[in-house]
Amino acid sequence: MSPTPIPPGETAPASDGLISLAIDGRTVTARPEETILACARRHGVPIPTLCEMNDIDHAPATCRVCLVEIDSPGHDSGQLVASCATPVREGMKISTRNRRVRDAQRLQVELLLADHNQDCAACVRHGNCELQDIAQYVGIRSNRFFDRGRTFGRGIDQSSPAMVRDMTKCIRCQRCVTVCRDGQTVDALVVTGTGQDTAIGLHHGLSQQESSCVACGQCVLVCPTGALGERDETDRVLDYLFDPDIITVFQFAPAVRVGFGEEFGLPPGTNVEGQIIGALRRLGADIVLDTNFAADVVVMEESAELLRRLGEQRRPTFTSCCPAWINFAERHYPDLLPLLSSTKSPQQCLGAIAKTYLPERMGLDPARVRVISIMPCTAKKDECSRPQLSQNGTAEIDVVLTTREFARLLRRQGIDLRQQAPSTFDNPYMSAYSGAGAIFGTTGGVMEAAVRTMYHLVHGRELPQIELTQLRGFDGARTATIEVGGTVGTVKVAMCHGLRPTRAMCEAILAGTADFDFIEIMACPGGCVDGGGTLRSKKAYLPHALKRRETLFAIDRATAIRQSHNNPQVQALYRDCLGSPYSDQAHHLLHTYYKERAVETSLTVKQVWQDITMSTMVY
């Protein structure tokens, strides 16, 4: 029996529960309740988007750039709909590039530009901006509706030492609100106003510095424009570099060397440690040190501190190397502050040592030393401004550059990392590192490094199994038991990355339903390899986390010394200066304290209703 012919202009019925429809005249199949945008992407049909970000499940349809025309059964004429929020239907005919659609998309972008700062050349996102890309895609040739008064009437919040919120560049895509509220559960950001006065603000009208924001910077990673960014301090670093009376000491974090090369066209995850050292020397850096060295020092201090606390039946102990986590604890869970390790972060430990021990060893005037950190983290900028992280009124760290700022600094000085010959560390006091120090840059790495040394402190011999694969998962929260033996016995550990699982862990500890001895917290999903100061990826959230992570583990495997306590420069530091881990001198230089800074926030019924109705699909 021959099949029934299909009338011209109609689509064939789909099988296996799929839906049949046509996109630009081509018959395709779609999944039930799939959006038009998702279906088009699966079939390789481009539709421009701006507010939508699939990686964080965000499609509020606020920008309306993804407009398409649909002809559906029961409608006499085509309708313009937002493809990111409109589900497919059987027999639907979709046009993505006809004249009506193109004109409508262009108009939407013009309206977005009406109150958007037009000084693109001065913007940190110039040439790397999703709004610029979309303007080119839809064919913008002029901006008919630009309202200068309205644009510059929108605020710029520079209250934070870490980040700047420039609302003259905000397109109200709400990605930042989603990642802050749903991804990180910090809920500092909120949609304010209506109509033309709609804006992104902070709860209760607070400033960035006063709010519940923890400076993790994940909002910066998802922002499509220059509305959110770090406080740029590249000029301050240039001032230091060209001041003959200043001795510049640079350090860079383990995650920077595996998350920087793609800025210059190298494959994601490439280890560019040697090129960074060479580039810093070309810039004119006097001394180049490795934060990995300080990570080894932190392992020594934190392991000794943990063993002492376990002996005193004080548990659990939380790690303290992540400044966004410290902010989160101080502002959201101040009752947990006594459980945090008092050991400073690797950045701050290096700064403290570089302004005391290093000048003494090298015969330098410590008053001339300026320490500049290159970090994958926005919260590090906030951390170095803490008053308790100074020695005799002198800050331990003078400037923090994010990975993005470092890229801008190199470009301003005409340095292309691809053409840079690699160099090596040569400081005899503070540049050697172990494999344990290298893995600090990824979730689980701090825990694994600490266990390697803790076992040695208990038994006087090395842990038989160096690589603790049970600690290396990528789930948001992971648990394991480690048999340390001796007087310690079994140690129950947990690791959280991202503040959503961290909040759940904090609640469980306060409720008494979680039983752990040692808990590692990294505020950013993936750990430092995807910190808020890392390179941005257009239309993608954390796309290179696993590649960067794999490279850090490869560095660990390739390093001759894989335990922090076997680092000869760390051994010399304790022999010549500190005495022993957790000694009085070590406590003076390498430990700190925390302060409650709780910020009470709440949602009104109106705000809850807006959240419920803002992103629903249009049927």
Residue 306 lies in a domain: yes
* Ramachandran region, residue 364 (left: φ > 0; alpha: ψ -120 to 50; beta: rest): beta
- Average pLDDT of the chain, as a whole number: 93
- Identity of the amino acid at 260: F
Residue 39 lies in a domain: yes
How many Å apart are CA 126 and CA 116, to the nearest integer?
14
Q: How, if at all, do strands 247-252 and 287-290 pair? A: parallel
Confidence of residue 4 (pLDDT cuts 50, 70, 90): very low
Calculate the alpha carbon distances from 103 to 23, 106, 461 in Å. 18, 5, 72
Count Cβ atoms below 10 Å from residue 569 Cβ, excluding itself: 18
Domain boundary residue among 109, 130, 153? 109
Give the domain range for residue 573. Answer: 237-590
How many Å apart are CA 344 and CA 446, to the nearest integer?
13
**First-residue to last-residue Cα distance in the chain:** 38
Kindly report the pTM of this predicted structure.
Answer: 0.92
How many Å apart are CA 142 and CA 146, to the nearest integer?
10
The first and second tokens of residue 245, run together, are: 């009376």
The residue that leads in pLDDT, 55 or 4, is 55
Phi and psi angles of residue 342, each rounded to the nearest 5 degrees, phi first:
-90, -5
594-609 mean pLDDT: 77
Same domain, 244 and 101: no
Residue 455 lies in a domain: yes
Residue 282 lies in a domain: yes
The first and second tokens of residue 391, run together, are: 């020695």
The per-residue pLDDT for 614 is 55
The per-residue pLDDT for 603 is 64
Burial of 18 (0-12, 13-18, 19+ CB in 10 A): middle
Please enumerate in sequence order all residues whose Cβ is within 8 A of that of 331, keeping only pairs 6 or more positions apart, or say none.
212, 214, 597, 598, 599
With beta carbons less than 8 A apart as the criterion, state whether 94 and 22 touch: yes
Residue 89 lies in a domain: yes
With beta carbons less than 8 A apart as the criterion, state whether 288 and 273 touch: no
Domain boundary residue among 109, 140, 162? 109
The per-residue pLDDT for 391 is 83
* Strand order across the beta sheet in which 67-71 lies: 26-30, 19-23, 93-95, 67-71, 79-82
82-92 mean pLDDT: 94
What are the tens digits of pLDDT across the range 352-405?
A: 999 999 999 999 999 999 999 999 999 999 999 999 999 888 999 999 999 999
* Strand order across the beta sheet in which 287-290 lies: 287-290, 247-252, 369-375, 399-402
Residue 379 lies in a domain: yes
Q: What is the DSSP letter of 426?
A: -
Phi and psi angles of residue 591, each rounded to the nearest 5 degrees, phi first:
-125, 160
With beta carbons less than 8 A apart as the criterion, state whether 20 and 12 touch: yes
Residue 441 pLDDT greater than 70, yes or no: yes
Using CA of residue 140, residue 144, residue 149, residue 154, what is the dihedral sign? negative
The first and second tokens of residue 247, run together, are: 């001795």
Please enumerate in sequence order all residues whose Cβ is within 8 A of that of 609, keeping only pairs 6 or more positions apart, or say none.
none
The first and second tokens of residue 282, run together, are: 């070309």
The per-residue pLDDT for 196 is 85
Cα of 242 vs its chain's centroid, Å: 31
Domains in the chain, number = 2
Phi and psi angles of residue 225, each rounded to the nearest 5 degrees, phi first:
-125, -165
The per-residue pLDDT for 1 is 38
Residues for the chain: how many in total? 619
Residue 601 lies in a domain: no
Same domain, 103 and 243: no
Same domain, 105 and 243: no
Q: Shortest CA distance to 51 belongs to which of 206, 213, 178?
A: 178
Confidence of residue 8 (pLDDT cuts 50, 70, 90): very low
Percent of the chain with pLDDT over 90: 87
DSSP three-state, residue 391: strand
Domain CATH code at residue 463: 3.40.50.1780
Domain CATH code at residue 51: 3.10.20.740
Residue 2 pLDDT greater than 60, yes or no: no
What are the tens digits of pLDDT across the range 506-521?
A: 999 999 999 999 999 9
479-490 mean pLDDT: 91
Helix pair 291-311, 346-354: axis angle to 10 deg: 110
Residue 324 lies in a domain: yes
Domain boundary residue among 69, 89, 109? 109
Residue located via tokens 């076997």: 566
